[in-house]
Amino acid sequence: MSIQNKFLLDPARAVLVVIDVQEKLCAAMDQNALQQLAKNTGILLESANELAVPVIFTEQYVKGLGPTLAELKSRAPAASCHEKMTFSCCGNGAFIEQLKQSGRTQIIVTGMETHVCVLQTVINLLDDGFKVHLVKDAVMSRSSDNKQTAIEAMMLAGAVPTCTEAVVFQLLKIAGTESFRKLSKLVK
């Protein structure tokens, strides 16, 4: 496997997964960190929309945690959304089936909580042979120690650590296009 194939994103092979950024769960988070997560996830959603990268939302126990934040859902109205009870998104058969049927192999992961649902999902995705790009500035936990520990574990397991701006420019690939002009404004 080439280094580029693992570390550089390709819009034709990527899927953006937004894990459990739900109203009631967000209320328990540090609000400054949540604001940053929402901003970065919004940038990723707009980039995915512009570059035809499919988006999947997941929601953990909607009855108790509420729906995905409306400000995020509105940026990808055509995206599928899978409700789950398992912490790993891969415990939802429809979620993993959608990924496999897409034929895409690169999964861009954002969401919460990093040490629970994000961690378990990433481990399962890696085990299923996907290349996972963990957007470190678009994941969060109630505790920064829990977040950092989970990020380290996912990196040890083989996830590629990345950030919002790197994802945007890897998906764009070149400057000077209309998409570049539109999306580069989002990260200034």
- CATH number for the domain spanning 145: value is 3.40.50.850
Catalytic annotation, pick one of 26, 89, 117, 131? 117
Measure the CA–CA gap between 48 and 55, rounded to whole angstroms: 7
Active site annotation includes 84:
yes
Measure the CA–CA gap between 86 and 161, rounded to whole angstroms: 24
Active site annotation includes 20:
yes
Going from the C-alpha of 166 to that of each of 11, 38, 39, 64, 172, the distances in angstroms are 13, 17, 15, 34, 10
Query: What's the pLDDT at 1?
Result: 61
Closest CA to 40 of 132, 137, 107: 137
Query: What's the pLDDT at 5?
Result: 85
Catalytic annotation, pick one of 20, 90, 131, 147? 20
Measure the CA–CA gap between 155 and 172, rounded to whole angstroms: 24
Measure the CA–CA gap between 20 and 60, rounded to whole angstroms: 6
Q: Does residue 68 contact residue 91 with C-beta atoms inside 8 Å?
A: no
Catalytic annotation, pick one of 84, 131, 136, 147? 84
- State the DSSP H helix or E strand holding residue 17, giving kind and residue range, or none if neither: strand 14-19
Query: What's the pLDDT at 2?
Result: 81
One digit per residue, the tens of pLDDT, for the chain of length 188 reads 688 888 999 999 999 999 999 999 999 999 999 999 999 999 999 999 999 999 999 999 999 999 999 999 999 999 999 999 999 999 999 999 999 999 999 999 999 999 999 999 999 999 999 999 999 999 999 999 999 999 999 999 999 999 999 999 999 999 999 999 999 899 88
Range of the domain at 22: 3-187
Query: What's the pLDDT at 188?
Result: 81
Per-residue buried b or exposed e for 74-102, using 16+ beta carbons within 10 Å of the residue's own CB: ebbeebebbebeebbbbebeebbebbeee
Angle at 178 between CA 175 and CA 184, to 5 degrees: 55
Active site annotation includes 185:
no
Output the furthest CA–CA distance in the chain (Å, rounded).
Answer: 46
Q: Please count the structural domains in the chain.
A: 1
Q: What is the pTM of this model?
A: 0.97
